[in-house]
Amino acid sequence: MKTDPQSQTDLKSFGYGFLGVLIFSLTLPATKIAVTGFDPIFVGLGRAIVAAGLSLILLVITRQPIPPIRFLPNFAIVTGGVVIGFPLLSAIAMKDAAASHGAVITGLGPLLTALCGVWRAGERPSVRFWIFAGLGSALVVMFALFTGGGSIRVADLALLGAMGAASLGYAEGAVLSRQFGSWQVICFALILSVPVLLPIVLQHLPANFAAVPTNAMLAFLYVSIFSMFLGFFAWYRGLALGGIARVGQIQLIQPFLTILASVVLLGEPLTIETIGFAAAVITCVVLGKRTQISAK
């Protein structure tokens, strides 16, 4: 029995997308641990310097050509969104907020990513898609308010800004990935950030690395190598193959993977309300991914 080519593409795109989300789902808990031993600004921006070093090695070994200068603004959007914006704002938020609470804000990612896909990639999601994306996002907001006692805090605003920046970076990176390749895009975006970030990171270096707790050091290495580097290899590949809006729906699962990680890694509580919201949101993902996304 032959498999339909479109079905194979869908399987690959959602497989890559899920792997990326799985890696990203540990970012907030790892960041929460890292800021117990490092300055939040060092955690938020220092991870890019580490990942940029790995990127340079990989690009040199594989002899990747430098993208034409006319694409510099596009790469700058990726840099501003996923290399600077999300890491910095999320690290600041994790200084005061629980990772499990911050996780629910990431559930707005699919809707924001879809909006950026419409703007940057000319995608045209169906009305049915918007219904399920909106419903899933509304459930996430309700969950955030429920767990936050009905109020929105400064940490919530920082996380909202982080998700807005990440979504724009996701959409722009997916567009570039169709031409330059998924891992090449994040590598070039990381290297582009070094002249701006290195002086700031050096100012926030810990006075004594030996005094940093081991768990904080390991957490920082995770967000540097996996969240800031390897995760984008899979994520951008999935978005480029299956469409920004459609594959971006997988992000609706991320809050609940993050909450599970927070329970295991940080000892944060898991409630019946969380399980109920998770089931409802995952249903929206399943229904939303079956809708058609057309190009302009």
Does residue 201 fall inside a structural domain? yes
Does residue 25 fall inside a structural domain? yes
Mean pLDDT by 10 residues, the chain (296 residues): 63 89 94 95 96 96 95 95 93 84 72 72 72 79 70 77 88 88 92 96 93 96 96 88 79 83 88 78 70 52
294: which strand partners?
A: 124
pLDDT score at 291: 58
The tokens for 226 are 């996996």
pLDDT score at 285: 66
Does residue 104 fall inside a structural domain? yes
Residue the block writes with tokens 């081991």: 214
Q: Are 20 and 238 a contacting pair, CB within 8 Å? A: yes
pLDDT score at 281: 75
Torsion of CA 259, 260, 263, 264, to 10 degrees: -140
Does residue 1 fall inside a structural domain? no
Does residue 52 fall inside a structural domain? yes
Does residue 191 fall inside a structural domain? yes
Q: Encode burial over 150-164: b for 16+ CB neighbours within 10 A, e otherwise.
A: eeeeebbebbbbbbb
Number of C-beta neighbours around residue 214 at 10 A: 8
Range of the domain at 216: 14-295
The tokens for 73 are 């603004």
pLDDT score at 1: 44
Q: How many residues does the chain have?
A: 296
Helix axes 27-34, 214-222, angle to 10 degrees: 140
The tokens for 255 are 């809050």
pLDDT score at 178: 85
Query: Residue 291 phi/psi, 5° resolution?
Result: -85, 165
pTM of the model: 0.82
Whole-angstrom CA distances from 257 to 25, 40, 102, 135 are 6, 23, 12, 19
Q: Enumerate residues 6+ apart whose C-beta is below 8 A from 15.
A: 238
Distance of CA 234 to the CA centre of its chain: 11
What is the domain count for the chain?
1
Query: Residue 4 phi/psi, 5° resolution?
Result: -60, 130
**What SS3 class is residue 294?**
strand
pLDDT score at 147: 66
d(CA 281, CA 20): 18
Does residue 3 fall inside a structural domain? no
d(CA 144, CA 101): 7
Residue the block writes with tokens 């910095």: 88
Q: Are 130 and 84 a contacting pair, CB within 8 Å? A: no
DSSP code of 101?
H
Does residue 71 fall inside a structural domain? yes
